[in-house]
Structure 1
Amino acid sequence: MFDPILAFTADLITALTGPLGSAAAAIALFTVAVRLLLLPLSVMQARGERTRRRLAPRVVSLRERYGRDPERLRRELTALYAAENASPVAGCLPGLAQAPFFMVMYQVFVSSAIAGKANALLTHGLFGVPLGQQFAGTVAGAGLISAPALVFAGLFLLLLAVAAVTSRRIRRTMGEEVQPEALRRIMPLLPFGTVLVAAVLPLAAGVYLLVTTAWTAAERAVLYRPALSAA
């Protein structure tokens, strides 16, 4: 039942390819356009996250005080959020609302066929490498030391750079909060998973991952900057 949505999205990106002269550029532009459309949700999420951080010490205090009385703890937490005109899930709902958009975009970039027709997006290339090509197939066909493999290597390096920036921000953010030690160790490593994902997906999906993760890093740098967090 999602075929019409996927077909519309693929046709729109294909239409952008002509004026831009590159399907990869069309994917990047389309990804940015969708992220701009979802920006109000990101702003809401940032506001909810700042509220959660501001109330975190008081929430910890209540949990320590009423941890053995779940019903009293629930009432106290409800009263706290009501008094602050906030919700404990305010930072989560906008993120969940974004999920369908990302699922559609992701599916467009990994599907070999859409609505019974070959995905034309994947027939275009980036520096001579078909957007439907995967890293393993490139290495098997052209070798590890080859121009096509270097295109993937460049993509992986850019993803690593974005992941490093995101990881540092996560470490800094977690340093301001009370978190389990295991979580402190795992969370900063998660951004690097995009490199592993890009290594097994078509090049088109890798381009999408690079643009959307770079946008997320820049967006969080602005929306979650210390001056706002302290407000």
Structure 2
Amino acid sequence: MSVFTHLVAELGRLMEPVLAESATAAAIVLFTVLVRLALHPLSRAAFRGATPVAGCLPTLLQLPVFFVMYRAFSSPEVAGAANELLGHRLFAAPLGSRWADALGEGGPFGPQGLVFLGLFAAVGVVAAWSAVRGRRAAAAAPAVPVGPVTPVLPVAGSRGGKAVSGQGERGPRGAKGGAKGWAKGGSRGAKEGGGVGRAGVPAALSAEQQAAMRKLGGVLPLLSFGTLITAAVVPLAAGLYLLTTTAWSVAERAWLQRRKDRAVQPAGQ
């Protein structure tokens, strides 16, 4: 934790001539951006769906950083020395203060309370943006067919990509192989007689399952508003980290989705 404290303190000193007392708060935002830049390759892999684990790694790797941030602005001492970060502020609010402390120092509209209200407003805007994008993504998802899927019958007489007439020696063999491929579901029958088997068609979802998925898709985007609760109980510095990393996540996903749509659009034209 002392390494983190030293890094944030040095970044704050570099920006102190311009930002004065709020330099450490800006250093926290810059530190968060550096962390997210380091995790950007994993976020891209998660967006592409490269591996199931890739989607969890960016979040899991941020947990130790958030814990260190929380401890750094909650502990009065670091490595046996006084914690110098606790004396820094964002405008009128100390970076180690919480919403409850601000309420006791002038109420919600006092100098410290206004800083927290500004933080909550920014977190709410980011959460609303995330919820809107989540709902749009759920609405744009392709519909899954309901009910049983009609199997695709094989093309009798197809062999090696060439049509075979129904007469002569090869015709019956092609029809027989095609029927066999349809019955067994695929490649073996297609190889023997050229039939096109489609047993690998995924099972369709029932109407109840699709309704449950739609409800879940409508609720999940609202979970982003849970960041508001977290920001109200953690130190102000940790709330700044949450705001920055959440805004980065939403903007990063929007950028990746835009790049994907641009790459797919020429192919569809």
TM-score (norm 2): 0.63
Equivalenced residue count is 185
Share of identical aligned residues, percent? 42
Partner deviation per Cα, 1:12-40 (whole Å, 9 max, x = no partner)? 11111101111100000010011111111
The 8 Å contact of residues 122 and 204 in structure 1, kept in 2 or not, is answered as no
The 8 Å contact of residues 128 and 148 in structure 1, kept in 2 or not, is answered as yes
Q: Quote how far apart the aligned CAs of 1:175 are.
A: 1.6
Partner in structure 1 of residue 45 of structure 2: 44
The gaps in structure 1 that reach 5 residues or longer are 1-5, 49-86
* Greater relative CO (CA pairs within 8 A, separation 6+): 1
Structure 2 residue aligned with 1:199, among 232, 243, 258? Answer: 232
| AA matched with 1:27 | I
Q: Quote how far apart the aligned CAs of 1:210 are.
A: 1.0
Partner deviation per Cα, 1:124-154 (whole Å, 9 max, x = no partner)? 1000210000011110122222121111111
Partner in structure 1 of residue 69 of structure 2: 109
Counterparts of 1:147-166 in structure 2, within 5 Å, are 147-166=111-130
Q: Distance in 1 between matches of 2:43 and 2:257?
A: 11
Structure 2 residue aligned with 1:135, among 85, 96, 99? Answer: 99
Partner in structure 2 of residue 27 of structure 1: 28
Range 128-137 or range 115-124, more displaced: 115-124
Partner SS, residue 168 of structure 1? helix
The gaps in structure 2 that reach 5 residues or longer are 17-22, 144-209
Q: 1:123 to 1:176 in 2, by over 3 A?
A: same
Q: 1:162 to 1:99 in 2, by over 3 A?
A: closer
Partner in structure 1 of residue 253 of structure 2: 220
Q: Quote how far apart the aligned CAs of 1:218 are.
A: 0.9
Partner in structure 2 of residue 170 of structure 1: 134
Partner in structure 2 of residue 66 of structure 1: none
Partner deviation per Cα, 1:79-123 (whole Å, 9 max, x = no partner)? xxxxxxxx6xx1x42233324531222112221234455543233
| AA matched with 2:242 | L
Partner in structure 1 of residue 108 of structure 2: 144
Partner in structure 2 of residue 14 of structure 1: 9
Partner deviation per Cα, 1:52-75 (whole Å, 9 max, x = no partner)? xxxxxxxxxxxxxxxxxxxxxxxx
Structure whose residues are more often helix by fraction: 1
The alignment yields a C-alpha RMSD, in angstroms, of: 2.1
Q: Distance in 2 between matches of 1:119 and 1:99?
A: 28
The 8 Å contact of residues 24 and 126 in structure 1, kept in 2 or not, is answered as yes
| AA matched with 1:13 | V
Partner in structure 1 of residue 221 of structure 2: 188
Q: Distance in 2 between matches of 1:104 and 1:119?
A: 19
